[in-house]
Structure 1
Amino acid sequence: MAYRQLPLGSLIVNPANDRHGELENETAAIAQLFATQETHMRALAKDLVAKGEVFEPPLVYPAGDAFIVADGNRRTTCLKLLASPRRAPTIELQQFFAEQRQQWIGKFPEKLECRVESDRDRVDDILYRRHTGVQGGIGQSTWTDRMKNNFVIRTGKSAGLNVADEIEKRLRAAKMAPLRRIPRSNLNRLLSAESLRNRFGISVRKGKLELIRDETDTLRALQRVASDMATRVITLDDVWDTDSKLEYIDQLDSEGVLPKVTPKLKNALSAAAAVPPVAASKPNPKPAKPIIWPHLIPHVDYGIVWPAHLHRHREIWEELQFRLELASHPNAISVLLRVLLELSTDNYISRIKLVGIHPNDKLANKVAKVAADLHTQGKIEKKYLSVINKLQHGDAILSIDTLNRYVHSPNFNVSPAHLKMLWATLADYVVLCLKA
């Protein structure tokens, strides 16, 4: 641990701040802090001006010639905008910071005392123990459940099953463990999300690690990862954020390392055969009542990993899955569903670099071309392709034209039932586009 006076310009507001999840750059991170906490940010800026100092040094780690702010992003942001008000995300905020800067007494600081930690695992351990007490925005803000979840997904740190420990045990039992020590924190970080674990053929269910692909193929894939990490071919920098994790996993996939996506039926059938039949005298238990979910997107894990470029997609998704209720906000939901469909389609087009798409193509045409490519790639069946293509017919109740009318027509009534049917039809398509 060391405390250093660092130039304000060398500090980077963290684009992967757990307050908001991964974003593409510092500018987006600054804008997001104000989008979600403008009142607190204004209060903090006023407090900094009134006191003329920062009472708690930001926690930073080196990144080349600069330093990423791990903790203290709000303080750092306020100081940066006081130093350069034009960097504020809105004209109103630019005026606010310009006025506050004029009230600063004495020389404005060009450097800021920071706590510098080079070990990123230590940085995460420190973050894990902080964030208690809001104090009207002047103190550190308490993390919400989503912020805590962002932290767990990014780092793999949780109080539950230690995935790395379980993998090492299985590799040792199969005599496939590397000779050198496996950096468990890095392995947990890589396999921090269920969708990432699934690509290696493993899953965490009810607190236990399960194999969901062929055992031999799965262990070979895990052995490769363990070896890469033990020999430092892959380091913390290579699995620090979602984009870097996906880049490494995609590379393994291109090399044929990952197990094929084929259900492992042998053990499942054996387990089923081992279950004793229910006695005829016992009545069958009543099936559990289905949970009535009031939002458009059901409370189901669709296995989507949310890298920085999908930040807005994720916000819309979470509004549709957790916040907006169909009974109260059908108009807002209809518009957001239309936006999510188009953004997802455009994501597939840009990530896959799909040819034959014209800038003036209507959404229905783009969806048809993307669906055709998904079918060509073997990701959807011909039957589902036919279902998607039928959405182009404007005279059908369930169609893309229906979504357009929800947005543009003043006389078209929004039907929650139709919205649910539209989502049921589009869900697989949207998820595949987001996973591209």
Structure 2
Amino acid sequence: MSSQELNIDELELDLKNPRFDDLTSQRDALEKIVLSQGSKLVNLAEDIVANGMSPAHRMLVMKAPGRGNKGFTVMDGNRRLTALRVLANPSVLDGMSGVGDITAQKLRKLAKDFDLNLIQPLDVFVCKNEAEARHWIEAIHTGENDGRGVVGWDGIATARYRGKNTSLKVLEFVKAAGKLDASELAALERFPITNLDRLLGTPEIREKLGLTFEDGDILSDLPQAELLRPLKKVVSDLASKKITVAKLKSKDERLAYIDSLGSALPDLGKRTGAPEALDRLAANAQAKSHAKAFSDGKSRSLLDRKALIPGQAQATLNINDHKLQQICKELRKLPLDTYPVAVAASFRVFLELSLDHYATEKKVPQYNADLHLKKKVEAVAAHLQANGVAKRDLQAFRALASNPNAALCIDRLHGVIHSKYTLPTANELRTGWSEVQVAFTKIWS
């Protein structure tokens, strides 16, 4: 298979397209795709006009019989080719009696804003034969195939990618404050977050749970124990499938379920009148949990942790950058006692790239890649605090830039790389991460 640049007049629709039976000509194929796709084709055309062709999904083509090197059949991408043909020449819609007037009208309107010269030549992949094309088509269109195909995101992954999801914040609060055991945490891996969306989307239910919406955020003025009790119960019922979408379809069904919680419902008479965002409450709960771990002599000590960063259940880092995912994976596995220098150097990279990623995603003011690392820490800390992270939860994080005695301070990290005298110890690395973990969970929330 090889990459090649082609114009749309060098491409033809596949008359063996598995979406249809008995396609007889290019015109027949074009009309049936427009007719069957309708509004979906309009949406595709609209996206092409606005954003161009997807660089992540190129057309798969084969040389068309009898056309030499000037003709190629599209094996995967027939909808895209159809959209391009209509946008480039909307007169092809003439005579398509089965196509709805609204669909045709929208496509003609989009064609007025379309410039073919901005799209072609198209970057396509040329398959040697049908067998090679079939392998990739099956990988794209027939499901996950045990990981060989396209693995779709679940509801939680989608919510994390799209950001600011209120249900996800409820879930993170329960994870941080709920003292969940291993089996409960495991049940959350495939949590039906859209069912929680359905519940929280009902105003009467939010009122019963002591929750409010403000500027797209979710808040509560209940004491933690009162708030946690019903939310933990709801999350548990959904995770265990004790309650499924079949019992939550109507508003009356959703209200009946919440009323069935009985004594688990909060005492709304304990509302303080000073609401706080749930992500801040989650961060506070996580900070208290770490403080208890330090003070409780019977809990696992720092020395029991073999790697710098604990597992995802203890340190939730929702990293969506491939390189940083790999660095984090290694920092969760490398034994500190064996590789303290390698771990310290890797953490230095992880720190700066995490700051750069956060600043880019959140558009942190006056931040740029050329800033000194200490300034980057200060800028990100200020932005986190301005967006609801408690000042006390950022104290140790800020100390990376300001306190030369901090276990993971930037001066020591630079010394690990540039000085032949600086050798970190496993214990100080463990201590250092535990001090800044809350800040990193907010950076990667």
Superposed pair shares fold, TM > 0.5:
no
Q: TM-score, normalised by structure 2?
A: 0.43
TM-score (norm: length of structure 1): 0.44
Larger Cα-atom Rg: 2
